[in-house]
Amino acid sequence: MKPSLTTARGLRRLAPLAIAALGVASAVAATPAGAATFAFSTGNPDGRIGTLSRPAGPGAVQTETADDFALGQVSRITHATFIGLLPTGTALSSVRNVEIEFYNVFPGASADPPSGNVPTRANSPADFEIASATRDGHDGSLTFATTQLDPSFTVANTVVDGINRSPGQFTGGEGPATGQEVLFDIQFTTPVLLGADHFFFRPEVELADGQFLWLSAPKPILAPGTPLAPDFQAWMRNDNLVPDWLRIGTDITHQAPFNMAFSLDGVAGVPEPGVWAMMLIGLGAAGVQLRRARARAGAVT
């Protein structure tokens, strides 16, 4: 039996040495010679759709939305933004937490062949997140600020609950919604170190009341966004579908593929040897802990 998303999170949280090692490495390393800043953006919201991305809670199943980006060289991501919809009248102070995860592209960190419960996994996020790249406001590895951009912003469609296994994956969405357009500004107090590759970015917002909908952006990416080729599309899943993902525009709504509104920036360039050493030590220790955790979970099962 494949582990649930909740189990995966539990295993990931047993790897603090990896996070700590990356934090120390980022703190002690100067910007390497020849390094440059980088910035990526999908542009401004286009009003086509808003999709749920929230942690599990009382009576609420965890639901995730992810969209892709690419790095041309090893990079340290220090800052991110994303734009979403909060219910009308909801105070910005009701945002309790933000968690950011990064995923490889399938079949990395995934069971292959996949389950067959979705039409395809080609160019989807992996089954499991990159443990060393997860950042959470609860543990201080990120800080966030919110800014209202528009008190009344309408999207033509939404996806909240309609996330089903094949052959029932098409629901058409759950119709339009109006709410506050809000910018989330994220500072990674522990920078995210990723190699040259294609990845998926997944924000998750916890509210005291109501639900956060991540807003779509133009596809293909338009100015002021950053062109991306190949530009994959946005995917969704919840704990009922895990470890699989569905294409929002292709599988769920049949509206054509979507991008989601977000940006990333940081430093591009090969880190100093000491940074690599610290990272590898941390990841090695995390691997030992994860293997032990899986063994314990297997014994309990």
> pLDDT tens-digit profile of 74-97?
999 999 999 999 999 999 999 999
- 130/271: higher pLDDT: 130
* Residue 293, both tokens: 């955790």
Domain assignment present for residue 230? The answer is yes
pLDDT at 15 over 70: no
Work out the pLDDT band at 269, boundaries 50, 70, 90: confident
Mean pLDDT calculated for residue range 142-164:
98
Determine the structural domain holding residue 267 and report its residue range: 32-272
Domain count, the chain: 1
Query: Beta strand pairing status for 50-52 and 158-159?
Result: parallel
**Whole-number Cα distances in Å, 219 to 130, 160, 255, 298:** 26, 21, 12, 43
**Per-residue pLDDT at 285:** 43
DSSP class of residue 105 equals B
Residue with tokens 């047993």: 14
Mean pLDDT calculated for residue range 258-268:
98
Domain assignment present for residue 24? The answer is no
Domain assignment present for residue 113? The answer is yes
Domain assignment present for residue 48? The answer is yes
Q: In whole numbers, what is the pLDDT of the chain averaged over residues?
A: 85
Domain assignment present for residue 26? The answer is no
Mean pLDDT calculated for residue range 27-35:
48
- 203/294: higher pLDDT: 203
pLDDT at 280 over 90: no
Domain assignment present for residue 240? The answer is yes
Q: Give the C-alpha separation, 167 to 148, whole Å.
A: 39
Domain assignment present for residue 242? The answer is yes
**Per-residue pLDDT at 295:** 44
